[in-house]
Amino acid sequence: MSDEYELETLAIRAGVHRSQFNEHSEALYLTSSFVFDSAAQAAARFSGAEPGNIYARFTNPTVTAFQERLAALEGAETCVATASGMAAILATVMGLLSAGDHVVASRSIFGSTVQLFNNILKRFGVETTFVSATDTAEWRAAVRPNTKLFFLESPSNPLTEISDIAALAAIAKESGAWLAVDNCFCSPILQRPLQLGADVVIHSATKYLDGQGRVLGGAVLGKKELLEGVYGFLRTAGPTLSAFNAWVLLKGLETLKLRMDAHSANALALARWLEAQPQVERVYYPGLASHPQHALAMQQQKSGGGIVAFDVRGGKDAAWRVVDATRMISITANLGDTKTTITHPPTTTHGRITPEQRAAAGIKDGLLRVAVGLEAVSDVQADIARGLAGL
């Protein structure tokens, strides 16, 4: 299906391939391998001369349906589905980079991504320079002759910083590098980085694409030729999305537009309420006029998204008291769920990076991140107010 259809239609109708039974809901193919009609057909499938399913590590009809649907939503030529969001990032760098290459990355990214670039990839000869998410001059200054990849999240985790994707895409192109954008916080409903000039879009499908905290999944999207190495890494190394998880994610995509609109509306209401609370030092939310990149966010995104972060006066102890006082909100680091979640990033999602790295990323000890769900926002406010009142 093409862009002649609206996103909410693509989220329901793209990637549908009915079997001989002509089922209405997408079929779930739970099998490890596929049977061939002959030895010649088997050889043709393995060589790539004939398209078709071979082995579920790298071909499965249910996974293919998910890949096609998400590609339609992102406006991408192709999609490579993976076992998790981190597997998607790993597959991207392993498929695109080699020893001796250089990466320029935003310092405002998920803690596990920092670990991957800073520790694991470094051992294999890939160096990373971390720069400001918002200062394009730092990106340009960090470029080396061997720079092959720009990597960023926008909005960033957890401070919702907004990078100028179009500007960074231009700098990357001038430098002979690719730009990869983690679009987890927005989903293609709110932001389509490929339209802004990005070469690669990455998702933790575990988050909003599922939307109900049920399964793990990831995805890498872009031009087919560029992602051949990514697919090759998946086929060989096997960080594969299971058929069952792909089927769950397919059903999640059907309600993505409705959920993202509701998440954004609830998050904006919560962010405005938090700004009025005396125990709150600062609120980070792209939909607020007070956000430093508010104007840019509203150019790149359709709304502010569902993530709100805020600094509590009193540091870690105060932040923990707010978390522990909640009765309804789930204390967990996952996000993108129908259920509102709360976490203390300095000791959870970003707990494995150094204090100096956290400080450089602007992550203070009193920071809390709320992934606003679909409950009545008044109930979410009341749950947080209980903790704030004790400070």
Report pLDDT for 2. 63
Average pLDDT over residues 302-310: 98
Average pLDDT over residues 218-223: 98
Q: CA torsion sign, 105 to 109 to 115 to 116? A: negative
- Spacing of C-alpha 219 from chain mean position: 9
Spell out the CATH class of 257-389.
alpha beta
Residues 64, 53, 55: CA angle, nearest 5 degrees: 100
Q: For the chain, which residues make up each domain, given as ranges?
A: 7-253, 257-389
What is the C-alpha separation between 145 and 59, in angstroms, rounded? 37
CATH number of 7-253: 3.40.640.10
Over residues 139-152, the pLDDT tens digits come to 999 999 999 999 99
Nearest by Cα to 74 from 224, 243, 195: 195
Confidence of residue 75 (pLDDT cuts 50, 70, 90): very high
pTM: 0.96
Report pLDDT for 251. 97
- Output the DSSP codes for 36-99: -SSHHHHHHHHHTSS-S--BTTT--HHHHHHHHHHHHHHT-SEEEEESSHHHHHHHHHHHH--T
Confidence of residue 351 (pLDDT cuts 50, 70, 90): confident
- Output the DSSP codes for 202-262: EEETTTTTT-SS----EEEEE-TTTTHHHHHHHHHH--BPPHHHHHHHHHHHTTHHHHHHH
- Please tell me if the domain spanning 7-253 has the same topology as the one spanning 257-389: no
What is the C-alpha separation between 13 and 2, in angstroms, rounded? 11
Nearest by Cα to 199 from 96, 319, 303: 96
Nearest by Cα to 163 from 117, 127, 131, 207: 131
